[in-house]
Amino acid sequence: MLLPGALAVVFAALIGWQWSDARRLRGDRAALRAALAGDSARLAEARGSSRQAADSLAGFLSGRAALDSAADRAYIVISIADNRLWYRRGNDVLFETRVATGSGKYLEKAGATGEQWKFETPRGRLVVQRKDIEPAWVPPDWHFVEAAQKRKLELVRLVPGMSIAGVGGTVVAVSGGNVVTRYPDGREVPFEVKDGNEIRVGNKLIMPPFGTAQRRYLGVLGANRLYLGDGYGIHGTDVPSSIGRSVSHGCIRVRNEDIETLFRIVDLGTPVYVY
């Protein structure tokens, strides 16, 4: 039988243990509430980010231009996924048409240099920097690499002062601003070239130097071009069947009648949003 003093000690210990356990439970509940609050905050943040991303795209299509554009200023929106172009001012669609955009394909040059190109349309905010009439296309190196690979020909880069032996004593060389066939009697005949009809000598495909007439193709880009910088632009095409598809080397192609309309109604400095 416990004495009264012993009972008091046991009772005090029991009360202390219960109070300590209750305090621990309160601490656990507070930590759990804090964790749940943190998870809720992160969930709300994630939902907000998702809504913001959706609103960003919806903003383009509902006529809300980017913050750096005045509300009443016209702008162009291009959807790579849909291959469509809209010219808008506020909620009004001023012009709409189908386009062709970059294929996304890779091209790799054989040999030690191992150069590689990816043909994609750049995304983001661009600007109409220049409006060109009857633009000539100056094919980059990749055009000749691609053409040689398709035809299984050896690619030869021609430079001034160099000559390539042809048939019957002729040579191919640079003369002034042209790549010419030079005959034994001294006559020189410039090559006529176009896309798909490059200079060929035997099993060699010739890459003309920049600055020569043979490095400029006429009629490929239609009657007009809205130049966006870094070699990219919105222009016409000599392959109308490509419109509505992802087949270009990066530029935005439209039908020739459409680029004539855009050239007339789009101002210099117009923002172009590509997504």
**Where in the sequence numbering do the catalytic residues fall?**
235, 251
Question: What six digits make up the tokens of 110?
Answer: 């054989």
- Alpha-carbon distance 68 to 27, whole Å? 50
Q: What is the Cα gyration radius of the chain? A: 34
